[in-house]
Structure 1
């Protein structure tokens, strides 16, 4: 039986790295994102373009995309939205709603779809963040959404005992999100940004592919944790 993997957000960053490494390992990979990763498609990626924030349009497309798939060894919910770093009082509700739509609600309907259409799913890993725990000033919708994602994972673990669920913080990853964060001007209110700037370009902030290899190696160990747990790769 072939190893089947499903990954959201494969156009860049960690999702791109995960898809690339799994393809190199000989797995069959189904991936979705808004932009098409031409290099991965050339390597054999099964790909469809969707905007996960638009459930009405995306759900039927993804339903057709996974038609006939009999099992997924891993489902990796990686796609996410950061939003702007600013104080909560300066953050419009529409911005928080959009972040929640991508980081939480899309994963809700996507999990429902996958468990309805695919007979066997062994492991679900939702990419969370240390921001879900830290409550650092300025992270607002991102922290709220990742904390909610952790609970979403825990709730689904209770409903699907046949699968193993984890919300996993991958540590620092050098992605477009980090490009935005580390380009922000110095602001004493947001001390987290200065730590990120110091890590940029060092081994403390690996690129997406390097981080992907580390995560894939750790995925089997996640199954030793209670299903529904939150874990940080730096503490495994």
Structure 2
């Protein structure tokens, strides 16, 4: 049986690194793309790529995926948070920077994959509950992830042989979580208190645990229409998901 291939963006840290580790352990060959590079041992092909430099993305993908005829999994994971602040105090330049990485770089990657001739089984766009909750302070991040969900739905019409899903993986330990729990103002932006309590309660997943959760749900994601947005808690923890949705109209 041929080895499975996976492409992961933003695989140098956090969930992207966890996904690389878990997929390698499950027999995948991992093709990674990140700004800082990944030094994992094993069947990894890794290339440094700055997704803010749109004009270089195609060339980098050509190098990374040279000779690859099939990808069983693509995870467009790379993204930035931006500052938690009032949307009225967030400049267009700040919003543009977030949208460039979280949205437009993914459009460029999807366009390249679409014309590459590579057979692709499944594409995951890493979204967030912030895309639907719209809590105070999430500004550019929420906007970018909401737009990313629609990007996936639109490309589902064009990737006829590929299943696409935008997924919210739940709470994962990362440098982003560090900022949300220690630096952002939870008094001014109360939704952060839920994250801080979750971390205190030990229910925030490690990157490897989050990656295992994603791998576990891969077959079940295909039960949803291609292009869907799916919070993994809908599948694995429906009570937790319902509580999250009920909180959407709070600050």
TM-score (norm 2): 0.90
Counterpart contact for 1:81–1:99, Cα < 8 Å: yes
Equivalent-residue separation in structure 1 for 2:201 and 2:70 (angstroms) = 38
Query: How big is the alpha-carbon RMSD for the aligned residues of Structure 1 and Structure 2?
Result: 1.2
The separation in 2 between residues aligned to 1:172 and 1:77, in whole angstroms, is 17
Question: 2 CA distance for matches of 1:50 and 1:3?
Answer: 23
Cross-structure match for 2:138: 139
Structure 1 segment 57-206 matched on structure 2, within 5 A = 57-184=56-183, 186-206=185-205
User: Aligned partners of 2:116 and 2:139: how far apart in 1?
Assistant: 34
Q: C-alpha offsets along residues 28-84 of structure 1, whole Å, 9 cap, x if unaligned?
A: 11011011222x1x2231100011111112321222211210000010010001000
1:201 CA displacement: 4.9
Aligned to 2:21: 20
Equivalent-residue separation in structure 1 for 2:183 and 2:19 (angstroms): 28
Deviations 1:81-122 (A, max 9, x none): 100000011111111001000000000010111122243001
Shift of the 201–50 alpha-carbon distance from structure 1 to 2, 3 Å rule, reads farther
For the pair 1:232 / 2:219, whether they are aligned, the reply is: no
* Runs (5+) with no aligned partner, structure 1: none
User: SS state of the match for residue 121, structure 2?
Assistant: strand
Structure 1 runs (4+) deviating above 4 angstroms are none
Are the aligned partners of 2:9 and 2:33 in contact in 1 as well (CA < 8 Å)? yes
SS in 2 for 1:96: helix
**Following TM superposition, by how much is the alpha carbon of 1:161 offset from its aligned partner in structure 2, in angstroms?**
1.7
Measured at CA, do residues 58 and 161 of structure 1 come closer, stay the same or move farther in structure 2, by a change above 3 Å? Answer: closer
* Map of 2:9 onto structure 1: 8
Partners of 1:186 and 1:194 within 8 A in 2:
no
